């Protein structure tokens, strides 16, 4: 046996330190290749680290909650020295890479482990391990499969009764149980009757839940129990809106719970990780960029009608549709008409960008982050809706990667989801414009000289006055408002 001391890796973007959030192993546990053994919190995101070695955990060198520098040993693993090779993997993993001990080939029915994007990015920086070439499929690097690039979707965990059983092809009928002895009738008839009864009564074993696979995935991501959701679909199926409504209702109930008053008179929260990065960025933005803000009230009735039509369209089946989607399209359209709002200030020049990496400010349990949709200007409505949904779910799970939060050009903050009418947003550092979308609700509105109930919202925006003059800021926000008032303008 030999001992390997696993150092804290740089998981990307020049990481210098990280906090040990939670250990998933304990001394004495056996650890396998690519097994997630610890969660760390960097200045950017929560990252799961996969093991680059197989063996037995000998010692945990760092306690949970401690912050350590990159390169500091955090784990000791005892492994079989006889199985270690001196060379590097055939893919050129670099000097110092260690080969894993050869293991018997797994059964053909055993699927290879699937790496999540977080595991893959962490494994690139971690010590690299190559499986023996005799195992079939060639050498395998940590976080990468031998048959192609790392998977980009989360692993699906099978359920005992089959999560999608009602959508799958009918399974072969199992052998019928022995029929009870009867005094009359042929034996074959009894068996056929028993088999038919088994097939007929199988659905009665549980309450059927009718939902498409994307809806089931959304429910899983939001922590919604589908058996508790009231379906509103045309065939009694659960729709996306049903899941969102259930998740929102649960969130409201969680938010209105009043905790007991703490016993201590004060609580001291260390400033570190994401909170420290947020604080530095906000101070830098607020005191280095001269902010100017403008606001406008908008009749969003046609947008709400347009969203209703999109939800009924087969082209948008399984896609979440919300006012944020129209707002995103409106901003992309307005940027094309007012390109200087999609720029960056430097001490020597203004860099106007002719692409849109659209940032979405997301409030997560770990703090405010601003991931962005890359090349949003080239996306169709369906593609943009899908990208926004994936971005939101990833942020809520705390799985947003540092690269997803870099390179933004302009940002939306959707404060309407919290019931707020408007606000004065602070610029995301490096950008010169940010737009706040307020809540959309019915208010009295004058239409053709008459007061009518209309869906109304307030849009606010802040700009870097070094780059964006008042007239450009006003024209840009007016263009955004015009799309919210009449989304048909997007067809131009």
Q: What is the pLDDT of residues 301-319, one digit of tens each?
A: 999 999 999 988 888 888 8
The more confident residue out of 189 and 86 is 189
Nearest by Cα to 218 from 381, 360, 385, 378: 385
Contact, 361 vs 411, CB < 8 A? yes
d(CA 311, CA 327): 16
- Marked catalytic residue, from 24, 157, 354, 465: 465
Lowest mean pLDDT among 87-101, 155-169, 217-231, 384-398: 87-101
Buried b (16+ CB within 10 A) or exposed e, 226-261: beebeeeeeeeebbbebbbebbeeeeeeeeeeeeee
Lowest mean pLDDT among 85-94, 387-396, 403-412, 443-452: 85-94
Q: In this predicted structure, what is the pLDDT of residue 340?
A: 95
Nearest by Cα to 60 from 48, 36, 46, 77: 77
pLDDT at 169 over 50: no
Instruction: Return the CATH class of domain 274-491.
Output: alpha beta
**Domain residue extents for the chain:** 2-135, 209-253, 274-491
The more confident residue out of 368 and 152 is 368
Contact, 481 vs 296, CB < 8 A? yes
pLDDT at 84 over 90: no
Please compute the mean of the pLDDT values over residues 321-333 and round it to a whole number. Answer: 94
Instruction: Return the CATH class of domain 209-253.
Output: few secondary structures
Nearest by Cα to 18 from 40, 37, 35, 44: 40
Q: Is 465 a catalytic residue?
A: yes
Lowest mean pLDDT among 123-132, 438-447, 465-474: 123-132
Q: How confident is the model at residue 2 (pLDDT cuts 50, 70, 90)?
A: confident
Q: In this predicted structure, what is the pLDDT of residue 343?
A: 95
Q: What is the mean pLDDT of the chain?
A: 75
pLDDT at 324 over 90: yes
Mode of pairing for the β-strands spanning 410-413 and 433-437:
parallel
Residue 63: is it exposed, middle or buried by C-beta count within 10 angstroms (0-12/13-18/19+)? exposed
Q: How confident is the model at residue 42 (pLDDT cuts 50, 70, 90)?
A: confident
Q: How confident is the model at residue 405 (pLDDT cuts 50, 70, 90)?
A: confident
What topology does CATH give the domain 2-135? OB fold (Dihydrolipoamide Acetyltransferase, E2P) (2.40.50)
Q: In this predicted structure, what is the pLDDT of residue 141?
A: 34
The more confident residue out of 99 and 348 is 348
Contact, 23 vs 37, CB < 8 A? yes
pLDDT at 152 over 60: no
pLDDT at 53 over 60: yes
pLDDT at 207 over 60: no
d(CA 57, CA 28): 5
pLDDT at 125 over 80: no
Q: What is the four-CA torsion angle of 460, 462, 468, 470, rounded to 10 degrees?
A: 50
Lowest mean pLDDT among 27-36, 130-139, 213-222, 274-283: 130-139
Q: In this predicted structure, what is the pLDDT of residue 45?
A: 67
Contact, 376 vs 328, CB < 8 A? yes
Q: How confident is the model at residue 204 (pLDDT cuts 50, 70, 90)?
A: very low
Contact, 297 vs 424, CB < 8 A? no
Q: In this predicted structure, what is the pLDDT of residue 201?
A: 44
Q: In this predicted structure, what is the pLDDT of residue 372?
A: 94
Summarize pLDDT for 234-246 with one digit per residue, the tens.
Answer: 888 888 888 887 7
Contact, 53 vs 79, CB < 8 A? yes
pLDDT at 283 over 70: yes
The more confident residue out of 409 and 120 is 409
pLDDT at 8 over 70: yes
Largest CA distance in the chain: 100
What 3 state SS string does the chain have? CEEEEEECCCCCCCCCEEEEEEECCCCCCEECCCCEEEEEECCCCEEEEECCCCEEEEEECCCCCCEEECCCEEEEEEECHHHCCCCCCCCCCCCCCEECCCCCCCCCCCCCCCCCHHHHHHHHHCCCEECCHHHCCCCCCCCCCCCCCCCCCCCCCCCCCCCCCCCCCCCCCCCCCCCCCCCCCCHHHHHHHHHHHHHHHHHHHCCCCCCCHHHHHHHHHHCCCHHHCCCCCCCCCCCHHHHHHHHHHHHHHHHHCCCCCCCCCCCCCCCCHHHHHHHHHHHHHHHHCCEEEEEEEEECHHHHHHHHHHHHCHHHCCCCCCHHHHHHHHHHHHHHHCHHHCEEECCCCEEECCCCCEEEEEEECCEEECCEECCHHHCCHHHHHHHHHHHHHHHHCCCCCHHHHCCCCEEEECHHHHCCCCCCCCCCCCCCEEEEECCCEEEEEEECCEEEEEEEEEEEEEEECCCCCHHHHHHHHHHHHHHHHCHHHHHC
Please compute the mean of the pLDDT values over residues 269-285 and round it to a whole number. Answer: 82
Summarize pLDDT for 343-399 with one digit per residue, the tens.
Answer: 999 988 999 999 999 999 988 777 788 999 999 999 999 999 999 988 888 887 778
């Amino acid at each position: 046996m030999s001992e390997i001391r696993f150092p804290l890796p740089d998981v990307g973007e020049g990481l210098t330190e990280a906090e040990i959030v939670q250990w998933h192993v304990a001394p004495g546990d056996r650890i396998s290749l690519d097994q997630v053994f610890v969660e760390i919190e960097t200045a950017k995101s929560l990252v799961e680290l996969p093991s680059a070695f197989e063996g037995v955990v000998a010692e945990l060198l760092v306690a949970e909650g401690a912050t350590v520098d990159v390169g500091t040993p955090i784990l000791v693993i005892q492994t079989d020295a006889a199985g270690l090779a001196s060379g590097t993997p055939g893919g050129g993993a670099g000097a110092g890479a260690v080969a894993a001990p050869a293991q018997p080939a797994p059964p053909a029915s055993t699927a290879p482990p699937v790496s999540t994007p977080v595991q893959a990015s962490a494994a690139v920086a971690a010590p690299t391990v190559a499986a023996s070439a005799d195992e079939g499929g060639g050498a395998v690097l940590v976080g990468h499969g031998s048959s192609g690039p790392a998977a980009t979707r989360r692993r699906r965990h099978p359920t005992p009764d089959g999560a999608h059983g009602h959508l799958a092809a009918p399974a072969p009928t199992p052998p019928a149980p022995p029929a009870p002895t009867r005094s009359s009738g042929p034996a074959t008839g009894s068996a056929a009757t028993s088999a038919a009864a088994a097939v007929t009564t199988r659905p009665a074993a549980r309450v059927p839940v009718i939902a498409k696979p994307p809806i089931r995935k959304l429910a899983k991501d939001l922590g919604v129990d589908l058996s508790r959701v009231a379906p509103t679909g045309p065939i009694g199926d659960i729709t996306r809106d049903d899941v969102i409504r259930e998740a929102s209702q649960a969130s409201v109930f969680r938010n209105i719970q009043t905790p007991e008053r703490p016993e201590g008179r004060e609580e001291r929260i260390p400033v570190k990780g994401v909170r420290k990065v947020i604080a530095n960025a906000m101070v830098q933005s607020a005191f280095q960029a001269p902010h100017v803000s403008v606001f406008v009230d908008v009749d969003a009735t046609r947008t709400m009608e347009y969203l209703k039509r999109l939800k009924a369209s087969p082209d948008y089946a399984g896609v979440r549709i919300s006012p944020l989607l129209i707002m995103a399209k409106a901003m992309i359209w307005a940027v094309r008409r007012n390109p200087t709002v999609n720029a960056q200030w430097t001490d020597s020049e203004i860099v106007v960008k002719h692409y849109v990496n659209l940032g979405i400010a997301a409030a997560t349990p770990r703090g405010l982050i601003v991931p962005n949709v890359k090349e949003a200007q080239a996306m169709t409505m369906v593609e943009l809706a899908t990208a926004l949904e994936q971005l939101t779910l990833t942020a809520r799970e705390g799985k947003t990667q540092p690269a997803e939060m870099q390179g933004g050009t302009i940002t939306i903050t959707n404060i309407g989801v919290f019931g707020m009418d408007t606000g004065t947003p602070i610029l995301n550092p490096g950008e010169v414009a940010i737009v706040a979308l307020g809540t959309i609700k019915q208010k009295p509105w004058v239409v053709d000289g008459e007061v009518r109930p209309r869906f109304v919202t307030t849009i606010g925006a802040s700009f870097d006055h070094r780059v964006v003059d008042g007239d450009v800021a006003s024209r840009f926000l007016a263009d955004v408002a015009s799309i919210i008032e009449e989304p048909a303008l997007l067809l131009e």
